[in-house]
Amino acid sequence: MHQNRLAGATSPYLLQHAANPVDWRQWSAEALAEAKAAGKPILLSVGYAACHWCHVMAHESFEDEATAAVMNELFVNIKVDREERPDIDHIYMSALHALGQQGGWPLTMFLTPDAEPFWGGTYFPKTARYGHPAFTDVLRSVARVFHAEPDKVRQNATALRQALTRESVKAGDQIYARAFLDDFASRAAGIIDQTHGGIRGAPKFPNPSILELLWRASLRTGDNQTGALVTLTLDRMSEGGIYDHLGGGYSRYSTDERWLVPHFEKMLYDNAQILELLAAAYAETKRPLFAQRARETVAWLDREMTTAEGAFCASLDADSEGVEGKFYVWHADEIERILGADNAAFFARFYDVTPEGNWHHEQTGDHVTILNRLNAPEASEEDEQRLTALRAMLFAAREKRPRPGLDDKVLADWNGLMIAALARSALIFERPEWLNKAARAYAFIRDIMRDPSSETGAKLAHSWRNGTMVVPGFALDHAAMARAALALHEVRAHLASEHQAIDFLDDAKRWIETLESDYRDAESGLISINSRAANDVLTRLAPTADDAIPNAHSVHLDNLIRLVSHTGDCRWLDKADALFESLRGVVFKTPLAHCGVLNAFDLRENGIEIVVAGSHADALHSAALLTSYIGRTVTDAREAALPDTHIAAVQAAAADRAMALVCTHAHCLPPAYAPADLLDRVREARSPVNSGA
């Protein structure tokens, strides 16, 4: 009789496996105790709902009675949603890397009953192929070694444990400096594909922290060529198949070098970061494509990714009907049936539709079309209006297809990223209604997803679904929501009245203080994924490198620096500088993996602060918010007097009419009294003379 115990899970990914004949358990102290009592090794399988190869392994092996019987006989089987428990995923993915293997999902790790990893891999096929042994052969071999060669298992487990707790990289002689930022940005620009954008080669990921580093360098140095690499990347992504031209939103990555063939899953965090980049680039270039893609992406977010409570869902699956991308691809004759011959021929010219298709789907053997405009001819305004109507017809037809699965759990960190993106981009794209979408999601996380152990709301849960939460939250939950709070604090005057009552700045301070007290290690100075209250993990790791999701260190640093601008309290800057120092060794060893930290340092050294003061200053305040958020903060001195320690305190207090002060960390430029003057001051503050070059 099967004893699968996932039916009570809240994670959609775990629920996908609730009917497997595998005796799955959720990660818990009870599951670990069961392994000890049985004297069996643990098979840990980690994945996520939108993961294509996770589905493949599930269909091949976890749904197969014979394979499941071997798993149940030889192992205690534990299934983990990596999005729900990123700490567990990071520990065992790090162990896999220490074994010299490339990571990926599904992650398949073999642990001792004490949860110590001793071997693992990723996807294992049911039968031997792709250079992988058959999964049941792997299972029997691992179980035999566990029981027959305990010394070997112990040796492996000890070596991996040591690798996980390896000492931090010692800092050398290199120091953070403007010269290093400029030199490294020049080197980073050298790895960008000059034709297609993005990092050269395939697959191609958005890599937002690298693109932000290049955009910052362009603003800092005036090097238009560096900025052009970012706009090229955003252009090609936005015209490629990685973008959903009918429904909006960007897929996770492109499997080819030209952004044509996506891995079709859509993740909340990717779209949040891309939305911010589109806003930053649009603020400087006013490129209509960026505004259109931003509007379409937020429409997708509103239509498909927003819960009844106003928070944002995690992801959309790559698969539907068991086939990757089936929901999104087309045949030419199908398009002709829907649009008619003349319209279909017109549409085909712009969206790369041909009878032979542009992608051979290996899973089905079919030749299909992925809609894209990578090689589209120039379109007139009349052409675009016609294309808009035709896209709407195809979208309506596509809506009748079986849909990809929606992972509707609410993650505090991913929501924080999207809330900040909406708050920072709404006014730039002339969509003030986005601000209240952001504030509504924020209120849900703040009020509903607070850790019950915290009466003050200073601690957050990580995940929520159907009233059930995963607690305690992780470092990035608090850092990302503090980021959201600071973004909403800047636009508070533009929010609906019910949201203006929230003290966003106070929320940001409390979550930042929680990070400092509960997550930052006193000895290393680094931020652990888990709080000190975590009691079900092998070790508390403190990763520093950028991933698809921003690292907690870089988000926290950016928050600390912005908090100094908003409060004038330099103790936050002291904390930031201490963290920069703790990170110095690893940052200079692998700078490309730590672009987020370097971006935060650029804000610390070269960022500008716009302080709005005086009566009737709404126009100036709005103009300030229309500048790119990347290198500036906006403080409204009309709401409350600035503290005496603030660089602009004296001038703001003496304001006898509407004015804006543009300040660097060293001084404030003469006041601006009109929006046009404000933009001139911003350009002046960015110049090398004022930025310390």
Query: What is the DSSP code (8-state) at residue 631?
Result: G
Q: Which residue has the tokens 């716009």?
A: 610
Burial class of residue 342 (count of CB atoms within 10 Å of its CB; 0-12, 13-18, 19+): exposed
Residues of the chain with pLDDT > 70, as a percent, come to 98
- The kind and range of the H/E element at 117 are strand 117-121
- pLDDT category at 535 given cuts 50, 70, 90 is confident
Give me the DSSP letters along 127-147.
Answer: SSBTTB--HHHHHHHHHHHHH
pLDDT at residue 693 in the model: 46
pLDDT at residue 168 in the model: 65
Residues 6+ positions from 456 with CB-CB distance below 8 Å: 510
pLDDT at residue 294 in the model: 98
Given a cut of 80, whether residue 1 has pLDDT beyond it is no
Handedness of CA 194, 196, 201, 207 (dihedral sign): positive
Of 690 and 286, which is predicted with more confidence?
286
- The mean per-residue pLDDT over the stretch 264-273 comes to 97
Query: What is the DSSP code (8-state) at residue 105?
Result: S
Given a cut of 90, whether residue 110 has pLDDT beyond it is yes
Distance CA 614, CA 154 (A): 69
Query: What is the DSSP code (8-state) at residue 642?
Result: P
135-175 pLDDT, tens digit each: 999 999 999 999 999 999 999 999 998 888 876 677 778 99
Q: Are 176 and 519 in contact (CB under 8 A)?
A: no
Q: Are 287 and 231 in contact (CB under 8 A)?
A: yes
Distance CA 262, CA 253 (A): 6
- The mean per-residue pLDDT over the stretch 9-27 comes to 95
Question: How much is the pTM?
Answer: 0.95
Spatial CA neighbour of 237 closest among 271, 210, 260: 260
- What is the three-class DSSP state of 672? strand
503-530 pLDDT, tens digit each: 999 999 999 999 999 999 999 999 999 9
Given a cut of 60, whether residue 689 has pLDDT beyond it is no
Residues 6+ positions from 517 with CB-CB distance below 8 Å: none
652-670 pLDDT, tens digit each: 888 889 999 999 877 899 9
Domains of the chain in start order, with CATH, are: 12-164 (3.40.30.10), 192-407 (no CATH), 410-590 (1.50.10.20), 607-693 (no CATH)
Residues 6+ positions from 362 with CB-CB distance below 8 Å: none
Give me the DSSP letters along 462-492.
Answer: SEEETTEEE-S--HHHHHHHHHHHHHHHHTG
* Distance (Å) of CA 592 to CA 103, 181, 185, 195, 487: 19, 11, 10, 21, 26
pLDDT at residue 572 in the model: 96
Lowest-confidence pick of 39-48, 444-453, 531-540, 619-628: 531-540
Question: What are the structure tokens assigned to 267, written together?
Answer: 């993740």
Q: Which residue has the tokens 């089936």?
A: 326
- The mean per-residue pLDDT over the stretch 410-421 comes to 98
Q: What is the mean pLDDT of the chain?
A: 94
First to last CA, the chain: 72
pLDDT at residue 186 in the model: 96
Given a cut of 70, whether residue 688 has pLDDT beyond it is no
Distance CA 349, CA 240 (A): 15
pLDDT at residue 690 in the model: 53
Given a cut of 50, whether residue 249 has pLDDT beyond it is yes
- The mean per-residue pLDDT over the stretch 46-57 comes to 91
617-644 pLDDT, tens digit each: 999 999 999 998 999 999 998 877 888 8
pLDDT at residue 35 in the model: 93
Given a cut of 80, whether residue 131 has pLDDT beyond it is no
Given a cut of 80, whether residue 274 has pLDDT beyond it is yes
Q: Is beta strand 42-47 parallel, antiparallel or unpaired with respect to 406-407? A: unpaired
338-372 pLDDT, tens digit each: 999 999 999 999 999 999 999 999 888 899 999 99
pLDDT at residue 455 in the model: 78
Alpha carbon dihedral 275, 276, 282, 287, in 10-degree steps, equals -30
- pLDDT category at 202 given cuts 50, 70, 90 is very high
Distance CA 565, CA 646 (A): 8
Distance CA 219, CA 239 (A): 25
pLDDT at residue 692 in the model: 47
User: What Rg value do the Cα atoms of the chain yield, rounded?
Assistant: 26
Query: What is the DSSP code (8-state) at residue 120?
Result: E
The count of residues in the chain is 693
Q: Is beta strand 42-47 parallel, antiparallel or unpaired with respect to 76-81? A: parallel
pLDDT at residue 170 in the model: 75
